[in-house]
Amino acid sequence: MQSLDDSRLLVRIGAAVRARRKECGLSQHQLALLSGLDRTFVGGVERGERNLSVITLHQISKALDASITLFLQDK
Amino acid sequence: MQSLDDSRLLVRIGAAVRARRKECGLSQHQLALLSGLDRTFVGGVERGERNLSVITLHQISKALDASITLFLQDK
């Protein structure tokens, strides 16, 4: 069962992915292509709605040329 | 499809979980109880065989009183 704390983590990850994607000047579609994911899945990740796996987050981080830890910083 | 790079990530996460668990003086069984996971699943994570979700890794990090980023450091 997903706790409030867990939901906050997903929202935080999503916001960090969106911020980094925009920094890179990429659309969700382009990020999806680069990371081998579906565009609607990327949208769900950015909205904090997806409990993604560490490998999927790793693929996103490689596509955004960032360390995976960037998306998990405790702000 | 899981690349070699992805497999290395899982092995790295597993080794970091095991090291932190031992630092805390916990058995796999105790970590499983604390994080609400199955003991065999914890064993699989430590062997780098599980593509766990970020929430599951978050639950493990809370049980081990560590930041989730500890398990994702690029050594």
- ipTM of this complex: 0.91
pLDDT in tens, B14-46: 999 999 999 999 999 999 999 999 999 999 999
Are B54 and A51 in contact (CB < 8 Å)?
A: yes
Q: How far is A4 from chain B (nearest CA, A)?
A: 11
* Contact list, B53 vs chain A (CB under 8 Å): 51-54
Question: Does any domain span residue B46?
Answer: yes
Task: Tell me how many domains chain B contains.
Answer: 1
Question: Does any domain span residue B55?
Answer: yes
Question: Does any domain span residue B51?
Answer: yes
Query: C-alpha B52: how far from its chain's center?
Result: 8
**pLDDT tens by residue, chain A, 75 residues:** 678 889 999 999 999 999 999 999 999 999 999 999 999 999 999 999 999 999 999 999 999 999 999 999 875
Are B68 and A6 in contact (CB < 8 Å)?
A: no
Question: Is residue A4 within 8 angstroms of chain B, CB to CB?
Answer: no
* CATH number of the domain within which A29 lies: 1.10.260.40
Which of A60, A69, A65, A72 lies closest to A28 in space, CA to CA? Answer: A60
Say which residue the tokens 């069962």 belong to.
A1
Distance CA A72, CA B26 (A): 25
Structure tokens at A4: 């409030």
Q: Which domain holds residue B45?
A: 4-70
